[in-house]
Amino acid sequence: MRPRLKIYLEENVPLIDAELFRFLPQIEPFRFLYEPMRDYPLRGGKRFRSALVLLGCEAFEGDKEKAVITAAAFEMFQSFALVHDDIEDGSEMRRGKPCLHHLHGIPLSVNVGDALYSKVFETLMANRERLGNLVTLDLIQEMIDGAQRTFEGQAYDIGWIEAVEIPSVEAFVEMLRLKTGWYSGRGPCTMGAIIAGASEAQQEVIGDFGEAMAVAFQIRDDLLNLAVQAEDAEQAPTTTAGGYGKERGGDIAEGKRTLMVIDLLHRCTEEEHDRVRTILDQDREATTQEDVEWTIGLMEAYGSITRAEDECQRRAEAAVAYLSEIPPSEAREILREMCSFLVERVF
């Protein structure tokens, strides 16, 4: 990890976490609600989305202390999204441990996710005293609009699996822009800029940076799912260290439509195409590790992984280009380091 980014996260993530857990009290019903609500945040994670709120604020000479509550709200949204996403995808592991629904069952976990989503807005409302009613309402409106985009993107992501459809590359990238582009990039950057009092044009350009970086990050995350080894899959990511925390090839077992899958299906033989589709579309329980490894090998043979890596790099370069439109500052350089780190992650 780049030195400035590492120092920044070490200094600021504890402040964000303190606010986050302030809104996750250890009260009743603790065992059935508040304890599992605290589970995913306590497992670690890089906290880069919440850090983007602070950096988006500082990039326009804002006071990051005024952005900490909003940063905590974003981390709350992240936890909510992961709980529901893991259920919808039938995932097995999250941050090196079994997913919440494997520990507590689906009904209780759905309720935990719902409660986390409600806490997002309770947390944002706490900005009123520090930021005033108008800015607080602007932040809430941005969260509402962004959440809707996220849900639209998720609808495509899981809908293609349910409908047994393979989207075009263009449709897939649009899904990433909706599902990941806002809540992993545009949203936190924009909300930080709002807190700083940035103009609409400034909000747009840092949002464009965040969106391009988030799409590159998601492509890299999908690539890591193919490259991670068993021992790394069990290592939870932390603020300043590696770790992946999800099973190797889990995206294939879940039938997820990724850039590599779509590229492969446009290049392989008819016989290979039929087998790949069978693996993707069958129940997860029917998919063996041999199926997963065969599919990964085919992606390597046809260059699908290399082309996805190239696309990831192009998106990252586009993100960095947007930074040239932002005034020079320490925050801008840390944003540049974050983009580089997120798209170059290796184990």
Give CA–CA dist 242/233, Å, rounded: 11
| Number of separate domains in the chain | 1
Contact 156, 179 (CB under 8 A): yes
Nearest to 259 by CA among 269, 251, 271: 251
Peptide bond into 29 cis (omega under 30): yes
Q: In sequence order, what are the residues at sequence separation of 6 or more whose Cβ sits closer than 8 angstroms to the Cβ of residue 190?
A: 56, 142, 203, 206, 207, 210
DSSP 282-321: S-GGG--HHHHHHHHHHHHHTTHHHHHHHHHHHHHHHHHH
Identity at 49, one-letter amino acid code = R
Q: Could you tell me what percent of the chain has a pLDDT over 90?
A: 86
Return the pLDDT at 230: 57
Q: Point out which residues pair with 347 in neighbouring strands.
A: none
- Look at the block and give the residue holding tokens 């590359």: 169
Q: Which two tokens stand for residue 251?
A: 């995206």
Q: Which two tokens stand for residue 324?
A: 């040239």
Give CA–CA dist 250/292, Å, rounded: 8
pLDDT in tens, the chain (347 residues): 668 999 999 999 999 999 999 999 999 999 999 999 999 999 988 899 999 999 999 999 999 999 999 999 999 999 999 999 999 988 888 988 999 999 999 999 999 999 999 999 999 999 999 999 999 999 999 999 999 999 999 999 999 999 999 999 999 999 999 999 999 999 999 999 999 999 999 999 999 999 999 999 999 999 999 987 655 555 555 555 555 556 788 899 989 999 999 999 999 999 999 999 999 999 988 999 999 999 999 999 999 999 999 999 999 999 999 999 999 999 999 999 999 999 886 43
**Taking the model in full, what pTM does it have?**
0.91
Backbone conformation region of residue 99, classed left if phi is above 0, alpha if psi is from -120 to 50, else beta: beta
CA angle 191, 88, 300 (to 5 degrees): 90
Give CA–CA dist 263/9, Å, rounded: 36
pLDDT tens digits, residue range 262-272? Answer: 999 999 999 99
Return the pLDDT at 347: 36
Cα dist from 70 to 17, 107, 135, 324, whole Å: 12, 29, 11, 26
Cα dist from 342 to 17, 72, 85, 241, 332, whole Å: 21, 20, 21, 12, 15
> Domain containing 280 — which CATH number?
1.10.600.10
Nearest to 216 by CA among 324, 303, 321: 321
Q: Which two tokens stand for residue 296?
A: 């990964």
Contact 43, 94 (CB under 8 A): yes
Give CA–CA dist 291/253, Å, rounded: 9
Provide the residue range defining the domain that includes 77. 3-343
Cα dist from 243 to 45, 100, 208, 280, whole Å: 9, 19, 28, 26
Return the pLDDT at 1: 61
pLDDT tens digits, residue range 193-236? Answer: 999 999 999 999 999 999 999 999 999 999 999 987 655 555 55
Return the pLDDT at 158: 94
Q: Which two tokens stand for residue 12?
A: 């600021």
